[in-house]
Homo-oligomer: A and B are copies of this chain.
């Protein structure tokens, strides 16, 4: 009980300098040729006093905290929860811990969070960047803080990133729907300028054009903070009126929202409407018509992000940009 034992306490008790204790306890006896009897006594005393190294002191001295700062959009979103879990496990392998925060897709929050984590001297960042955070990211890079962007990136910034090959994902998803005989295919995205959204749209556009369906291209956007409202309107104006016969929905939260609409508007899948979702979710499996979707290799993405980051934190200078291969999971929702 009482106050925690420090190196000094051990040193005093054994009758040596704290330096020696530090050496022994960090396993450097060999190099320094500490007498083995002394070493033994030090180790014993440390155990006796229930010594625990103070990481904070060590961090201050070494200038490294062995901590990764993780900024996601929302940790309670299963997609980010999974990512966080992988990152946690991978980081642990390298001896790092994770401090996290959710930005809610808000650049102000992201900024504040980044600031806080900087002050806590994290050794590096894994960031799922919100729209409008180019400046924040640039600042970190200029300050030579190791950063890896995850899930999204900015073409304007030469920053390490690990993202899905969104172009390819959309190409394949759209082509699948076309192959199934759909023509009036719309895409549903969030109303944000982020690159992954743009790429998902671009892949869709390309696929439509390739098949001579450029006149059928319809991009529907939903506001992040008016998800259900805007989604309902798409269903009222586009689906119910048959202006569209297939919907490619490029996020798990968007897809879930669409499923609620399908249920509420009593729409028949795949007859009245074909649906292609994103990310995957148990709800997709249990929907009355199991939902086809684009699956991201979440594990690989998380692991790769940590791997790239640890490289940077250990001095690597190279910029790594990775686009991961998507996988189409086909069920019955596209006919």
Contacts and interface: CB of A to CB of B under 8 A. Distances in A.
Interface string A247-273: 000000000100110010000000000
A144 B2 CA distance: 8
B82 A76 contact: yes
Interface string A107-136: 000000001111111000000000000000
Contact of A81 (B53, B81, B101): B81
A84 B88 contact: no
Contact of A97 (B65, B116, B283): B116
Interface in A69-123: 74-78, 81-82, 84-85, 88-89, 92, 97-102, 115-121
Of listed A81, A142, A259, A263, residue having the most chain B CB within 10 A = A81
Contact of A286 (B55, B89, B115, B288): B288
A281 interface: yes
Contacts of A288: 286, 288
B56 A121 contact: yes
Copies of this chain per assembly: 2
Contact of A56 (B59, B88, B283): B59
Contact of A85 (B102, B281, B283): B102
Given A98-B99, A101-B97, A142 B54 contact: no
A1 B116 contact: no
A26 to B, nearest CB: 13
A52 interface: yes
A285 interface: yes
Contact of A78 (B81, B92, B260): B81
Contacts of A75: 75, 81, 84-85, 88
A271 to B, nearest CB: 17
A267 to B, nearest CB: 13
Given A75-B84, A76-B81, A286-B287, A99 B97 contact: yes
Given A52-B119, A57-B60, A282-B283, A85 B78 contact: no
A65 B97 CA distance: 15
A143 interface: yes
B97 A120 contact: yes
Contact of A283 (B54, B102, B283): B283
Given A55-B120, A76-B78, A99-B99, 13 more contacts: A56-B60, A67-B99, A74-B85, A75-B75, A76-B81, A78-B81, A81-B81, A88-B101, A256-B282, A259-B282, A260-B285, A282-B283, A283-B283
30 contacts: A1-B144, A52-B115, A52-B119, A54-B121, A55-B119, A55-B121, A56-B56, A56-B59, A56-B120, A60-B60, A67-B99, A74-B85, A75-B75, A75-B85, A76-B84, A76-B85, A77-B81, A81-B84, A88-B100, A88-B102, A89-B102, A97-B101, A97-B120, A98-B100, A263-B285, A283-B283, A283-B286, A286-B286, A286-B287, A288-B288
